[in-house]
Amino acid sequence: MSYIQTKRWNVNKSMNLQKKETDLQEAAAWIKQGKVVAFPTETVYGLGGNALDSQAVKEIFRAKGRPNDNPLIVHIAKREQLDALVTDIPEVAEKLMKAYWPGPLTLIFKASDQVPTDVTAGLDTVAVRMPSHPIARELLLESGVPVAAPSANLSGRPSPTTADHVWSDLEGRIAGIVDGGPTGVGVESTVLDISGPHPVIFRPGGLTQEQIAEIAEDVELDQALVTEGQAPKSPGMKYTHYAPKGSLTLVTNYLQIQELAAHAQAQGSRVGILTTENRKHEYVADFVFACGVDEDLTTTAALLYNGLRQFDDHQIDVIYSEVFPENGVGAAVMNRLRKAAGGRIIE
């Protein structure tokens, strides 16, 4: 389905609380009617549709151009909604939910028969999370249904952290966008499988492995994250993602980057460099993006997707990126950069 006009509710900019409430009620009503609507979460913007409506779920896949063998995450507003979606809630899940819900943690449970196979991509599990963003929570509460919501971008593109990013990718392809301003965390939620004997991180994200280990000491990383050639099992991790239009290469020794950039420019390419504020002024290129500061990788995560999209705005052909420490949220940053680079790295 295509739309002559994609509606945009600017709830972040409205000083009129009555209008904000009315706009969110309309957006929620559209979700209940089976339409797909983009909305902000604390991580990235999501593209939401009624998770119990197979046609709405199909519309999400169509709008994104997402392969239908890639499962979706279901978003809920209240703990009680979980019971209808899953068959079993392990004790470790109860502890994790108490500690980190609402927040950037997605848990994978055994799915109940109420969850359409379009959502689970035919798997016997379902991924569920409870976002903490106030607008997301209000929208979910108003809709009264669990909402399937992958990132609100064209499949393969950098995830959106502003409504403008969503508009750039999906205007005319979806019913509406709830503009709640920039997101905070900047990378997607951590996906943790608790359906097996040990908790396993399928996707690093806004909640770190160290934080999870405070509750679940035996947490492990999925082998697909650490072993070449293993197929990932998490929503949003099966295919190449997050890629800018230019060719991105990671460089482990940042002292090589300027030489590589100069060589690419000599070949006629427009060159971009991804670094931090700490070294931004050491580089000369067509566009240099400072992605946070070395001292706080949460700033890097918050700016990462915006930076990748800015390379497109500057029509950059070749991008060289520094690598980042993989402790804390740095694991999520490097996971996304490796995916965006398609494995291209200069050691």
CA gap 63, 89 in Å, rounded: 32
Nearest partner of 166 among 184, 180, 154, judged by Cα:
154
The residues of the chain that CATH labels 3.40.50.11030 are 247-346
Record the tokens describing residue 296, joined without a space.
């706080």
User: Would you give per-residue pLDDT tens digits along the chain (347 residues)?
Assistant: 556 689 999 998 777 888 889 999 999 999 999 999 999 999 999 999 999 999 999 999 999 999 888 899 999 999 999 999 999 999 999 999 999 999 999 999 999 999 999 999 999 999 999 999 999 999 999 999 999 999 999 999 999 999 999 999 999 999 999 999 999 999 999 999 999 999 999 999 999 999 999 999 999 999 877 554 444 455 655 555 789 999 999 999 999 999 999 999 999 999 999 999 999 999 999 999 999 999 999 999 999 999 999 999 999 999 999 999 999 999 999 999 999 999 899 99
Residue in this structure with the two tokens 């999870």, named with its chain if needed: 212
What residues contact 208, with CB distance under 8 A and at least 6 apart? 190, 328, 329, 331
Q: What count of other Cβ atoms lies within 10 Å of the Cβ of residue 11?
A: 25
Q: Could you tell me the sign of the dihedral formed by the alpha carbons of 166, 167, 168, 172, in that order?
A: positive
Is the N-terminal amide bond of 90 cis, ω within 30° of 0? no
Beta bridge partners of 201: 192, 221
User: Which of the four CATH numbers 3.30.1280.10, 3.40.220.10, 3.30.470.30, 3.90.870.10 does domain 7-226 have?
Assistant: 3.90.870.10
In degrees and rounded to multiples of 5, residue 42 shows phi and psi of -70, -15
229 C-beta neighbours (distance < 10 Å), count = 6
The pLDDT of residue 238 is 53
CB atoms within 10 A of CB 105: 24
DSSP one-letter string for 204-217:
--SS-HHHHHTT-T
Residue 186 Cα distances to 57, 130, 213, 267, 345, angstroms: 24, 17, 22, 34, 23
Closest by Cα among 35, 48, 199 to 109:
199
What Cα–Cα distance (Å) separates residue 263 from each residue in 245, 259, 311, 320, 321? Answer: 20, 6, 18, 12, 15
Beta bridge mates, 346: 251
Angstrom CA distances, 116 to 51, 69, 119, 206, stand at: 7, 13, 6, 27
Q: What is the pLDDT of residue 286?
A: 98
The predicted pLDDT at position 227 comes to 53
Tell me how many degrees the CA angle 297-151-86 measures, rounded to the nearest 5: 105
Q: Which fold has domain 247-346?
A: Rossmann fold (3.40.50)
Torsion of CA 316, 319, 324, 329, to 10 degrees: 40
Q: Residue 253 and residue 108: Cα distance in Å, rounded?
A: 37
64 closest CA partner among 124, 168, 150, 144: 150
Q: What integer pLDDT is reported at residue 224 of this predicted model?
A: 76
Which residue in the block uniquely carries the two structure tokens 């497109």? 312
10 Å Cβ neighbour count for 344? 14
CATH 3.90.870.10 domain position(s) in the chain: 7-226
